[in-house]
Amino acid sequence: MAFVKVYIHLVWCTKNRLPQLDSKELRLKVWNHIRENANLKGIFVDFINGYSDHCHCLISLGIDQTIQKTVQLLKGESSFWINKNKLTKEKFEWQDEYFAVSVSESQLNKVREYIKNQEDHHRKKSFQEEYEEFIVKFGFQKLSDELG
């Protein structure tokens, strides 16, 4: 038997960063649905929250789960569910891109607090500013420069 504990902090945004998740009640509905759906698919969501135009999700990958497939399952099913239940005024879509960074066990509580405090965090800082900080902090820009 294999014992695996790999934590990943995922961040993805709405298509064109439209603020479609425009109420706290709607966001809670969506985050709860993502958690419940993930559980049915054997995906462990440790913590989830976000703001009007994006979602932060801390997951622990199972032995046969890939980041790509897990994100596809979470985003695809949730956008289908949002549209099926007509929860937004216009058609809802998540943007294709996403961030995924590993989280060491010693940093789990810090990441949970960061995700938990999205409402307050985004009163002071836009998602665009957060996005640019992620690019720099985790070296994504450097990586894409080397590849391109």
User: What are the chain's domains?
Assistant: 6-147 (3.30.70.1290)
List all residues 6 or more positions away from 80 whose beta carbon is below 8 Å from its beta carbon: none
Helix (H, G, I), strand (E, B) or coil at 17: helix
pTM: 0.87
Taking only the tens place, the pLDDT of each residue in 49-98 is: 999 999 999 999 999 999 999 999 999 999 999 999 999 999 999 999 99
Residue 90 and residue 20 in contact, taking contact as beta carbons nearer than 8 Å: yes
Query: 144 pLDDT exceeds 60?
Result: no
Structure tokens at 57: 């999700």
Query: Taking all residues of the chain, what is their mean pLDDT, rounded to a whole number?
Result: 90
Structure tokens at 125: 């800082």
Eight-class DSSP state of 88: S
φ and ψ at 127, to 5 degrees? Answer: -65, -35
How crowded is residue 49: how many other Cβ atoms within 10 Å of its Cβ?
Answer: 19
pLDDT at residue 141, rounded to an integer? 63
